[in-house]
Chains A and B, each alone.
Chain A
């Protein structure tokens, strides 16, 4: 009987993968479920096992079941050999789409637990050193060296420490956290177990947004399995180290992706930013030392430990080592996951991997790094994707989201959207963000309507200064980034003084 693989990833399911699975089963196939390969443009992507490998059939509908099994459907060939995948350097996503996410043996067969096993044979300080040497930096967006953070937690004196995984993936145009957890949850569990051992934490929390029900289910099932196999709980793999892992579901606030708000929320409070110092590494969850890391950071850790810091540090550009999981989204022909060493240019991502816009019109702007990231003008597309490299052009890598816009975009409205997003999602604690976002939106409304344009643009600029320097956290502090990038690079979109009835 033919074995076929149908993704259970939420993105594939949203375009009918579950129905396709039913149809294939009805047609006599043995259906197994995998994560998504990240080729979202091809979903539902059905893979049929053959002697040559798993042959991929893109965009399958239930009606296509018989054709797929008969090899009559349009094919991508052997998926592992597809250039969209072979051109990537998959580290965190190495197993995503390949294995059944809940198959712990399959996970191990594909190299799983090797990192944890090696870590447990080392001292915690050695593990921390290994991560430091790898050059791994915080993939949530801040880019803080993971090893330095872990060292702070390791050296903090406390009876109880925590590791906390930030899985509140709220940036528009990002989905890598969700896909890795849905497609390979054991990798996150392994990364957290390594982190916990390294910093001396006996308890860990995964904070996941409620909008990710598939990921929540997948993670909870995997955690249960990991417990029964001794990778979690008392005396992990006979190491003497205990590690309990809990899943906590958020209540729908973007700000809870900010680490201190996430800790407040984990403690059962209103998701509100904490002032720093103290830093969470010293006073985090319940006031105790806590290593807070993003899903992608933690999912890079098993490879760092399994293959050694040099292998990871060997990838990348400048001070940005290893790979970045880029997420291509927006008006793009081939959206999805592209994991590549740091240093790839934005142009390569947008044109080569993304294939330009879906509408076929010229690319006018790309927003990199989520809703708080800068809009990058095509004349700067040769920038290499790295923390410092992007900062040089007043942009940021963020969580690796790349959102493409064609030439119909109105950049004044995009600037306004930045304020609107901030107004919707601000926790409301600090004044620049709470009131400033609303005032920014209102003032840009005046600009868009052509009222007192130059005076109001000056006011927006002043407001951006107040928010950038005065805000409590990055939410208010970075909102001016997309606003100012739009104003600087597309000034023509803000020049509304010629509008009918406008006054300059």
Chain B
């Protein structure tokens, strides 16, 4: 069931699943078989008997506080709580005796004696207290007017939800959700006895440690914690299962809505318990920050203009599409087939990306298609393909639950991949250890109940030296898995000889990496000695001149220790955008057709040439940076950009702007008039994820359905727009539905052979490869054998980046992401997430700040060899000396004004993570500019 017409709450079995041998119990005369250790409550629910409950929910361990679920067990004394009583074989339980009925009434009478009586004024409408009171047949409340909490004031500080203590029954579900599921420990119970109150650490929710993941709101059984949108809009009337469009975790959500058609309003987004990636959890972005879809900035109509100096003119879809087709054809007529190209988006669906690359290859007639994955995870695709044979991570997210040691490199999951971070933290709290290799002291170095075994502050640009030193230690200390290497890998002897060289030792590389050798050796021993050790990494690995080398270096490390091919191990990229994996899978690189098959392979081109009825160029087309260079050179003159803001997100903004300005026709399709649109001649409005029908593929290769919550607000799905451009250019490209596009993908791409919308609707989600060998998908890859046969050990020689610090530019700038904002901020800046991060700041070590006379809050000038910008400084011990850090969520910051064109040798992924810079207190004029910019920003709705 994917769309529910009548809204109903999700089924709740009361306590989580446990594993165990099967035991049989009899409950109210019904027999049921469950794993030993299953609670009586859950067994009863499975037998179709719903035992009353308030503090129990199946996403959390039993707590036993509400005392509503008391039952009688034959031959046992007392009336145990069914949530905390495990089933034993032969147990006979009665859930509805006169005694338990009376006790439940007695407890309910106590609840109601301290609860608001006006249920009509309650926003939630599904308050469990109300329903339960009716059910247990609670008579009047006989207690006279005594102490109560019903006058306590609501805490409305959080922009997305309210806490109304009057309705709180102190069941601790919110506290437990915050600690057990989210792992933030922001909530607690203050006071004791009757004075026990839920508290966000003694302050209001907004000022607290709360990260607004929404777990507490979801857990609350009453009206005490409720979404503001629910209070405003009332109860939903139907729901649609879909997938979040933010980061690469790919959380499944139930969009709960009311109204039909264009009047549809999203009441709230509720994470799905059966979502493979998130299992019922969420973060502040996916849970709450969907309001941008209906933001006033959203562009609803196609627009054209002759020059970028002209005003935009709203036109019909026909006119806009005609203009695009004519313009592109005219350019090609004058400058050749290769003079135009397209850029697809990792934010769009697989189906949308597929048609864009098809348009370029079939209608444009060239391979000038690239994707924004170029600037984030292209080295992942390259590196893992070279070593393992597949351009993707090796595990599912669940795998981390079996890891004993986590090696986290260049990733900051608590900010960038929060839902996975919660899962990882849960495992760490259960005893697994973590090694953090990152220049910054990110949260996972030390956060409540998690402390890294080692923090290795690897200096930006020295990753390969670092990973080689890890492998060197393991190999020279004899900690490697000889058997795994000999049976499953190739290039072993050459690699072992290479890595054992003294130049790769921790001692020799220490000057480059900044990591104390003994600490590195200890971390290497920990990784090598663990039964299961898993590597997780992010853009701190890929966005370097040796990004691809580093990916291969990590693959080497996993192979050397045999940490590949089973649960709990592997090499796992944490993908930046929702569909980075999918957009790469769909053939949106200039050298690859869908499924990572090189365009030079005749047998692959044959498949598409016969299906599409065109000839496909056997030579790779232009990469994004080549497009820019060629544009400035005059040979590349027309560009179609879908859902990517290259003018803000790509490095060296001046160079990008020069390239865009040089083109004859720039076509932008987006939700908003973004920075790139300043250089566009045609603007085509896009659709938000709430309007899309299709699939996203997350970082674990999980193909999730995206379903339209309401019809496209701009009247035309993106894939239809693209098809119509192709048609207008004379190539007949037509589909009746997104499902039909997926059918074509499945028919032409072996790893997607078994995928269809119908199957995804039936199974929820599937992880590719999905084919005859793995009809339900592949959670863990390279089991028994690598996809390429033998794992390939690559000699990963460390070559320092050419971007060096000098006396003029003595600091290294590295960039990253923060929890509340996402990427260039186009979405999150148009939501209340602005509350937490209204501007990008420059983090700087106290020593670096002091010698420059910089204090927290100062406007500072940040300059590199290519540009200068100003922003606000925050002096922070999280930074190592010599390294500064900022985010790039706000266009006003222009963080990429200063980043260089250095890029990965194999994939051209930009070296965002290493820029030599100088920082100084801004002069008065710049300060004024900055202040004005901040005011403009604040004035944005």
- Most B CB contacts (10 A, CB to CB) among A275, A424, A446 go to A275
> Which of B106-114, B707-715, B885-893 contacts its partner?
B106-114
A473→B163 CA distance, assembly (Å): 29
**B79 part of interface (Cβ distance < 8 Å):** yes
> Which of A321-329, A409-417, A430-438 contacts its partner?
A430-438
**A428 part of interface (Cβ distance < 8 Å):** yes
Known contacts A277-B84, A277-B86, A442-B147; A466/B110 CB under 8 A: yes
Cβ contacts under 8 Å, A425 to chain B: 192-193
**B479 part of interface (Cβ distance < 8 Å):** no
Contact at A275–B172, with CB atoms within 8 Å? no
**A429 part of interface (Cβ distance < 8 Å):** yes
Binary per-residue interface labels of chain B (67-100) against chain A in the complex, 1 for a CB within 8 Å, 0 otherwise? 1101000000011010111100000000000010
Contact at B193–A431, with CB atoms within 8 Å? no
Chain A residue nearest to B147 (CB atoms) is: A438
Known contacts A277-B86, A430-B67; A435/B189 CB under 8 A: no
Mostly helix, strand, loop or mixed at chain A's interface? helix
Known contacts A275-B62, A423-B194, A431-B67; A466/B143 CB under 8 A: no
A272→B172 CA distance, assembly (Å): 12
A462→B141 CA distance, assembly (Å): 13
A426→B114 CA distance, assembly (Å): 17
Give residues of chain A (249-277) contacting chain B, Cβ–Cβ below 8 Å: 253, 255, 270, 272, 275-277
Contact at B189–A428, with CB atoms within 8 Å? yes
Cβ contacts under 8 Å, A423 to chain B: 193-194
Contact at A270–B67, with CB atoms within 8 Å? no
Cβ contacts under 8 Å, B78 to chain A: 469
Contact at A465–B189, with CB atoms within 8 Å? no
Known contacts A438-B146, A439-B143, A465-B102; A431/B110 CB under 8 A: yes
A462→B63 CA distance, assembly (Å): 25
Chain A residue nearest to B62 (CB atoms) is: A275
Q: Which of A432, A446, A469 is close to B144, meaning CB atoms less than 8 Å apart?
A: A446
Cβ contacts under 8 Å, B797 to chain A: none
Contact at B103–A469, with CB atoms within 8 Å? yes
Binary per-residue interface labels of chain B (531-575) against chain A in the complex, 1 for a CB within 8 Å, 0 otherwise? 000000000000000000000000000000000000000000000
Chain B residue nearest to A436 (CB atoms) is: B110
Contact at B192–A255, with CB atoms within 8 Å? yes
- Most B CB contacts (10 A, CB to CB) among A276, A422, A430, A433 go to A430
A425→B196 CA distance, assembly (Å): 11
Contact at A434–B196, with CB atoms within 8 Å? yes
**A383 part of interface (Cβ distance < 8 Å):** no
Contact at A275–B192, with CB atoms within 8 Å? no
B584 to chain A, nearest CB (A): 43
Contact at B170–A428, with CB atoms within 8 Å? yes
**B31 part of interface (Cβ distance < 8 Å):** no
Contact at B192–A427, with CB atoms within 8 Å? yes
**B385 part of interface (Cβ distance < 8 Å):** no
Chain A residue nearest to B172 (CB atoms) is: A429
Q: Which of A428, A459, A471 is close to B142, meaning CB atoms less than 8 Å apart?
A: A459
Q: Which of A255, A437, A466 is close to B194, meaning CB atoms less than 8 Å apart?
A: A437
**A472 part of interface (Cβ distance < 8 Å):** yes
Contact at B143–A443, with CB atoms within 8 Å? yes
A397→B673 CA distance, assembly (Å): 79
B114 to chain A, nearest CB (A): 6
Mostly helix, strand, loop or mixed at chain B's interface? loop
Give residues of chain B (910-932) contacting chain A, Cβ–Cβ below 8 Å: none
Chain A residue nearest to B86 (CB atoms) is: A277
B654 to chain A, nearest CB (A): 54
Give residues of chain A (455-484) contacting chain B, Cβ–Cβ below 8 Å: 455, 459, 462-463, 465-466, 469-472
Known contacts A428-B191, A466-B103, A469-B79; A276/B67 CB under 8 A: no
Contact at A438–B172, with CB atoms within 8 Å? no
Total residue contacts A-B, CB cutoff 8 A: 111
A229 to chain B, nearest CB (A): 36
Cβ contacts under 8 Å, A422 to chain B: 193
Chain A residue nearest to B78 (CB atoms) is: A469
Known contacts A270-B188, A276-B84; A438/B66 CB under 8 A: no
**B65 part of interface (Cβ distance < 8 Å):** yes
Contact at A424–B193, with CB atoms within 8 Å? yes
A459→B141 CA distance, assembly (Å): 11
A255→B146 CA distance, assembly (Å): 24
Number of interface residues of A (CB under 8 A): 38
**B64 part of interface (Cβ distance < 8 Å):** yes
A479→B135 CA distance, assembly (Å): 29
Give residues of chain B (772-797) contacting chain A, Cβ–Cβ below 8 Å: none
A459→B79 CA distance, assembly (Å): 21
Contact at A435–B192, with CB atoms within 8 Å? no
Contact at B147–A466, with CB atoms within 8 Å? no
A435→B169 CA distance, assembly (Å): 10
Cβ contacts under 8 Å, B494 to chain A: none
Cβ contacts under 8 Å, B107 to chain A: 431-432, 466, 470
**B195 part of interface (Cβ distance < 8 Å):** yes
Cβ contacts under 8 Å, A430 to chain B: 64-67
Cβ contacts under 8 Å, B191 to chain A: 428
Cβ contacts under 8 Å, B85 to chain A: 277
Contact at B79–A470, with CB atoms within 8 Å? yes
Contact at B194–A434, with CB atoms within 8 Å? yes
A255 to chain B, nearest CB (A): 7
Contact at B86–A253, with CB atoms within 8 Å? no
- Most B CB contacts (10 A, CB to CB) among A424, A429, A437 go to A429
A426→B85 CA distance, assembly (Å): 23
A438→B144 CA distance, assembly (Å): 11
Cβ contacts under 8 Å, B172 to chain A: 429
Contact at A270–B147, with CB atoms within 8 Å? no
B526 to chain A, nearest CB (A): 19
B562 to chain A, nearest CB (A): 25
Cβ contacts under 8 Å, B142 to chain A: 455, 459
Contact at A439–B79, with CB atoms within 8 Å? no
A253→B83 CA distance, assembly (Å): 27
A470→B143 CA distance, assembly (Å): 18
Contact at B194–A463, with CB atoms within 8 Å? no
Cβ contacts under 8 Å, A442 to chain B: 143-144, 146-147
Contact at A471–B67, with CB atoms within 8 Å? yes
Cβ contacts under 8 Å, A431 to chain B: 65-68, 107, 110-111, 169
Known contacts A277-B86, A465-B102; A439/B110 CB under 8 A: yes
Give residues of chain B (670-715) contacting chain A, Cβ–Cβ below 8 Å: none
Q: Which of A429, A433, A435, A455 is close to B114, meaning CB atoms less than 8 Å apart?
A: A435
Cβ contacts under 8 Å, B110 to chain A: 431-432, 435-436, 439, 466
A175→B193 CA distance, assembly (Å): 25
A442→B147 CA distance, assembly (Å): 9
Contact at A435–B106, with CB atoms within 8 Å? no
Cβ contacts under 8 Å, A463 to chain B: 106
Cβ contacts under 8 Å, B68 to chain A: 431
Give residues of chain B (163-204) contacting chain A, Cβ–Cβ below 8 Å: 169-170, 172, 188-189, 191-196
Give residues of chain A (78-134) contacting chain B, Cβ–Cβ below 8 Å: none
A462→B110 CA distance, assembly (Å): 11
A259 to chain B, nearest CB (A): 15
A30→B420 CA distance, assembly (Å): 70
A255→B169 CA distance, assembly (Å): 21
Cβ contacts under 8 Å, A424 to chain B: 193
Known contacts A275-B64, A277-B84, A466-B110; A428/B103 CB under 8 A: no
**Lowest 9 A-B CB distances belong to which pairs?**
A428-B196, A275-B64, A466-B106, A426-B193, A275-B84, A442-B146, A435-B110, A438-B194, A470-B67
Binding site for B on A (CB under 8 A): 253, 255, 270, 272, 275-277, 422-439, 442-443, 446, 455, 459, 462-463, 465-466, 469-472
Binding site for A on B (CB under 8 A): 62-68, 70, 78-79, 81, 83-86, 99, 102-103, 106-107, 110-111, 113-114, 142-144, 146-147, 169-170, 172, 188-189, 191-196
User: Would you list 9 pairs from A and B whose C-beta atoms are within 8 A, ordered by A residue?
Assistant: A270-B188, A277-B84, A428-B170, A431-B68, A431-B111, A435-B114, A442-B143, A442-B146, A466-B106
Apart from A434-B193, A435-B114, list 7 A-B contacts with CB within 8 A. Answer: A423-B194, A425-B192, A426-B192, A428-B193, A431-B65, A438-B147, A469-B103
